[in-house]
Structure 1
Amino acid sequence: MYNLFKLVRLNNLVMIAITQYLVRFCIIAPILTIKGLSLQMSEFWFAMLVLATVLLAAGGYAINDYFDTKTDSINRPNRVLVGKAFTRQFAIKLHFVLSTIGSLLGIAASFYVGVWQYALIFPLVGGLLWLYSTTYKAQLLVGNLIISLMAAMVPLIVLMFEVARITKTILPVLQQNQITLNAIAYWVVGFSFFAFITTFIREVVKDMEDFDGDAETGRNTIPVAFGMTAAKVVACIAAAVEVAAIYGIYFGYLSVLPTGEVDWLSLSYITLTIAIPFAILLFRIVKAKAPSHYRLTSLLIKLIMLAGVFYTVIFYVVLSNVYQLS
């Protein structure tokens, strides 16, 4: 069972579920409360949406390991599971079962919220993850961008389905009271942007870590195509842009609360858990030489991503203090 959890990256799946629940209850729910509204998607169907997302991701991890066996045997031979702990046939079947169930749940949730077009997302994601593992991962930048987009979709899909359900159930209330959901959209899209850029940085760092295996198996990653120095420059620029964007948004729109007070809690959290770790990250990327150095850098990126996810809790606390939410 332990090896199965490793195959489907249980820790990543847990974080996907936590992220979606935090976006729902710490961003969307309190903003709706301030506007005199409430969540319209039932807890059951939201759980089905989360499960659909998690199962598709798990299926993607399984098929990725299936096609990565040769490369992983060079880069991380002690962590290869397909062909050792599990047969290749098992990995294929597991991918098919998880992706099929995830797609069916997502399709059902789409019809529940009243937007049948959303049903197309889930089989498309499953197919895209297959193509990523078989083709796009070996192409310059394409694989990095696909995985970054998948990460950005994790919070964004919560927004899409909740807004669709709200529009279906209480649209007249919104129109009569001239209520918009722009604030919710801005916040969730902001988190999606954070997920996209941070995941992109991590993908580039992973490519640097996996340079030997990628070069030997013919993968055209940034380090292989342009060299390690160029890859470091790309990762550092992306990190600098992300930190600049976060502080730009904070000082431009968030620093002063509706009460007139400065939001010191958000500023402290951003600085201590995101900006300073990013500075350390930049230093480590520049100094990194051996694969083990990039492994530690990749771990630091995961911690930054975790801090970004849990800023939702800080956001909820700030709103609760300002608007006296119960």
Structure 2
Amino acid sequence: MNSVLAAIRLFRPVNLLLGALAVAVSAALVDALDQVVLLIKGILVVVSLIAAANAFNDYHDLEADRINQTNRPLPKGDLSPKTALILSILLFLMGAGISFTMNTESFIIAAVVALPLMVVYSLWLKGSVLIGNIIVAAIIGLAFLFVGALFSELNRMITPSLLAFGFTVVREFIKDMADAEGDRAAGLTTFPVKFGLETSARVAIVITTLFMALLAVPYLMNIYSEKYLVAAILGIGIPLAYIISLLVKSPSSNNCHTASQILKLSVFLGLLAIYLG
């Protein structure tokens, strides 16, 4: 039982829930919630690939997590690295296999583009300056395009995909700031490791402010309604403004960890804003 619970924690259940919700919200946007079988298959693909990527990432991040994430299953010894690797491979195969039963566009997005990006990120790009952040953001954005392709409504998912991309760039950059100590010890060269937290805070403030401004674009272009704008301001804009105030006050490790947790909650609110739009 302990191993099962450790495996569930390895997969990051909150992230899996977010992935499933993203698929459901996307399906609702294109009026496809009644296509139950296709919806379930879409959720299974997204959830299995997210779980696989998380397990694979933890396998390769073990040394850094001994400092940054000491309560994770691998640093604690609740699960062996070999088990994590096997689980990740099986889940990658599961996600790719299910996507193979879908239309060509969905299969290409999931198995030919997203899956290799997940592996390449963990192996070679996680510790890079900014490139890793952009890759993760692209993978998150692809989830919305995947659902759009699944229900033959790809064009309608471009705006949610771009919003998810921008939000994830901000979140991943600040997460790197929070993890700077462990990343430095593991020999990774993320932006905060290379340039320090003070410089990183200035960059984070700029990209966060830019994204806050871009939140209004879908409303100004009549893509989304006033409900979206209100939800985006309350659920994303205000938390981001608070994060900026934290970074202005002090880009300490504690403040960066707090900011990272706030952004995790804002993902749910962001999905709500998109749904209301």
Point out where structure 2 has 5 or more consecutive residues left out of the alignment. none
Q: Confirm or deny that 1:148 pairs with 2:137.
A: yes
* Aligned-residue offset at 1:120: 6.8
1:22 to 10, 20, 25: 25
Give me the identity figure in percent. Answer: 25
* Aligned-residue offset at 1:281: 1.5
Point out where structure 1 has 5 or more consecutive residues left out of the alignment. 30-38, 164-180, 256-262, 316-326
Cα separation, 2, equivalents of 1:281 and 1:117:
36
Higher Rg: 1
Q: Confirm or deny that 1:3 pairs with 2:6.
A: yes
Cα separation, 2, equivalents of 1:117 and 1:295:
35
Structure-1 residue corresponding to 2:59: 66
Q: Confirm or deny that 1:283 pairs with 2:222.
A: no
Query: Where do residues 74-93 of structure 1 align in structure 2 (5 Å cutoff)?
Result: 74-81=67-74, 84-93=77-86
Q: Confirm or deny that 1:137 pairs with 2:126.
A: yes
Q: CA RMSD of the aligned region, Å?
A: 2.3
Structure with the greater relative contact order (CA < 8 A, sep ≥ 6): 1 or 2? 1
Structure-2 residue corresponding to 1:44: 37
Cα separation, 2, equivalents of 1:278 and 1:243:
7
Query: Where do residues 109-148 of structure 1 align in structure 2 (5 Å cutoff)?
Result: 109=102, 113=103, 115=104, 118-119=107-108, 121-148=110-137
The 8 Å contact of residues 205 and 235 in structure 1, kept in 2 or not, is answered as yes
The 8 Å contact of residues 151 and 195 in structure 1, kept in 2 or not, is answered as yes
* Aligned-residue offset at 1:65: 0.5
Structure-2 residue corresponding to 1:185: 155
Distance 1:116 1:272, change over 3 A: closer
* Aligned-residue offset at 1:254: 5.7
TM-score (norm 2): 0.90
Cα separation, 1, equivalents of 2:143 and 2:237:
23
Counterpart of 1:190 in 2: which secondary structure? helix
Counterpart of 2:151 in 1: which secondary structure? helix
Cα separation, 2, equivalents of 1:226 and 1:64:
24
Cα separation, 2, equivalents of 1:44 and 1:54:
15
Cα separation, 2, equivalents of 1:284 and 1:120:
37
Structure-1 residue corresponding to 2:96: 103
Q: Which moved more, 1:58-67 or 1:206-215?
A: 206-215
The 8 Å contact of residues 222 and 230 in structure 1, kept in 2 or not, is answered as no
Question: How many matched pairs?
Answer: 274
1:210-253 per-position Cα deviation (integer Å, ceiling 9, x unaligned): 11121122211111122212221222222211221122332342
1:205 to 168, 174, 183: 174
1:53 to 34, 46, 57: 46
TM-score (norm 1): 0.77
Structure 1 runs (4+) greater than 4 angstroms displaced:
none
Distance 1:80 1:267, change over 3 A: same
The 8 Å contact of residues 65 and 75 in structure 2, kept in 1 or not, is answered as no
Counterpart of 2:187 in 1: which secondary structure? coil
2:273 to 283, 308, 311: 311
